[in-house]
Structure 1
Amino acid sequence: MSTMEIKRDMASLAAVVDEAARTATAIPQLTERVPDLTVEDGYAIQALSLARRLGRGERRIGVKMGLTSRAKMAQVGVDEVIWGRLTDAMRLEEGGAMSRANYVHPRIEPEIVFLMKKPLSGEVSPLEALAAVEAIAPAMEVIDSRYQNFKFALPDVVADNSSSSGFVLGNWHKPDTAIDNLGIILEADGRAVQVGSTAAILGHPLRSLVAAARLVSRWGERLNPGDIVLAGGATAAHALAPGMHVRAVYQNLGAVSLNVTE
């Protein structure tokens, strides 16, 4: 296959995953169609898919990190986290509503989010990463795989923008606020469904920001002032259903909530 044919095929796969996300339609795994699809191919498809979103008027506002649990990395047999891109259309109002109809398999997980004040890219230390942070906040991310039966291989996930689909942010706090081991309770309709700690995010959420700087640089990108970085799930994700009220309560950081409609 020529370089032109490969690029054309990547573009067609990007159109498939983009349309699946846009219309909330489940699709077969890309690896069923292209068995030798690699993670690098997945990132190329992700970039092309995001370009389609930007072409429709969406704006890139940051990145999300995935597979940030050591146990999850071991479970799927990888030694590196993954990342996806966030756009302004993914933002949900804190305490507001999200329509279940806009998603295929929506699940929610509590996270820590960083707001950048300086550019960051490449190999950096935790101290250098922290120096580029304007503020931190509690957050929840709505993840959604567009693949049928919630089944996929790693290249599929990456191509599908690492399951990025929505997020809600809580109140901002000073960047030097301790976040290394904060208790978190994820509630659904007032009942605790997940209990965890920010330490589940690579041992410290700041390590996720360090990884974000390294990974985006591989694609010629950087974290820009004003960008947000979702550090990754601090607990297992909880499936969402219409009528559900979801709230994540964080030690020392407050709470963040969301209502699910039809």
Structure 2
Amino acid sequence: MKIQRIAKRLDDAAVRGEATPQLTGEDAVTLDEAYAVQRALIEHRVGRGAHLVGLKMGFTSRAKMAQMGVSDLIWGRLTSDMWLEEGGSLKISNYVHPRVEPEVCFLLGKPLQGNVTPLEALAAVEAVAPALEVIDSRYRDFKFSLPDVVADNASSSGFVVGQWHRPDTDVGNLGIVMSFDGRPVQLGSTAAILGAPIRGLVAAARLAAQQGETLEAGSLVLAGAATAAVELRPGVAVRCEFQNLGSVAFSTAREE
């Protein structure tokens, strides 16, 4: 079956850390088919012992939407094997084109589904934390169409979560400094996430419902990138400082 064939190809690329061609010709998919591929792709991870822990939002920047010629966000799934230890280390060779971007992470204390207001979304939040997401398109040259990236789990590959804070912590416009080895590589604000990160959570509930899914209590939601992603390289200490929210960090291993 086409969906299963593409899902296996993308999963194999992720497991091996090797690039695969874009979805063209017989493997070209519609957006609905792309989400079906994504679901099947995650089933491979679950089959290896991982479990779902939440989801991530993509294209939360208006500039990125315009660049891709779309008018709505996309989303991908987070699994337990993607959750990297805060302060831990990862190997670049396990990835294809790894990049990192700062995020705000919400932990839900109550289920959330469908069209909700920002206040309703906030009422479902148990805690909020600074986070970093490792993105890694499995496609050659980091080039892809909208259905391509959706099928590839919205390029999500890993994430690191910092210290949790009270749910009423204001994260709407916090200054951000992401550094490599103590040198700033990105400056930004959480306001770049749809004007306020809570809007990413609102969108997550709506888009998940379109696929017949509910954000359950205990789910993590990465609200979207607050800056452009920066390419990772071996032997780098990555740290991101969030105004009034603390920091989150990891490193990349030195490799021969």
Common topology (TM > 0.5) = yes
Q: What CA distance in whole angstroms lies between the structure 1 residues aligned with 2:88 and 2:44?
A: 27
Deviation at 1:259, TM superposition (A): 0.5
Is this contact kept in 2: 1:13–1:45, CA < 8 A?
yes
* Map of 1:82 onto structure 2: 74
Q: What is the CA distance between 1:31 and its match in structure 2?
A: 2.7
2:231 maps to which of 239, 247, 255: 239
CA distance in 2, matches of 1:15, 1:22: 10
2:2/2:27 contact within 8 Å kept: no
Q: In structure 2, what is the equivalent of residue 226 of structure 1?
A: 218
Q: How far, CA to CA, are the matches of 1:203 and 1:257 in structure 2?
A: 25
Q: Is the 8 A contact 1:31 1:155 kept in 2?
A: no
One-letter code aligned to 1:18: D
* Equivalent AA in structure 2 for residue 90 of structure 1: M
Q: Tell me if structure 1 keeps the 8 A contact 2:178–2:187.
A: yes
Backbone CA RMSD of aligned residues = 0.9
Is 2:252 the partner of 1:260?
yes
1:1-262 correspondence to structure 2 within 5 Å: 8-35=1-28, 37-261=29-253, 262=255
Unaligned runs of 5+ in 2: none
Distance 1:135 1:32 in 2: 45
CA distance in 1, matches of 2:154, 2:26: 19
How far apart, CA to CA, are the structure 1 residues paired with 2:158 and 2:42? 14
Runs of 4+ in 1 over 2 A off after TM superposition: 31-35
**Helix, strand or coil: the match of 2:84?**
coil
Amino acid at match of 1:189: D
What CA distance in whole angstroms lies between the structure 2 residues aligned with 1:50 and 1:95?
Answer: 26
Deviation at 1:55, TM superposition (A): 1.3
TM superposition score normalised by structure 1: 0.95
Partner deviation per Cα, 1:155-175 (whole Å, 9 max, x = no partner): 100000001100000000111
1:67-121 CA distances to partner (integer Å, 9 max, x unpaired)?
A: 0001111111111010000000001111110111111000000000000000001
Q: Does the residue aligned with 2:41 lie in a helix, a strand or coil? A: helix
Cα distance in structure 2, aligned partners of 1:186 and 1:249:
6
Q: Percent identity?
A: 59
For the Cα contact (< 8 Å) 2:191–2:226, is it kept in 1?
Answer: yes
Return the offset for 1:237: 0.3
| Aligned length in residues | 254
Return the offset for 1:49: 0.7
Unpaired runs of at least 5, structure 1: 1-7
Give the Cα–Cα distance (whole angstroms) in 1 for the partners of residues 110 and 39 of structure 2: 23
C-alpha contact 1:10 1:45 (8 A) present in aligned 2: yes
- What's 1:3 paired with? none
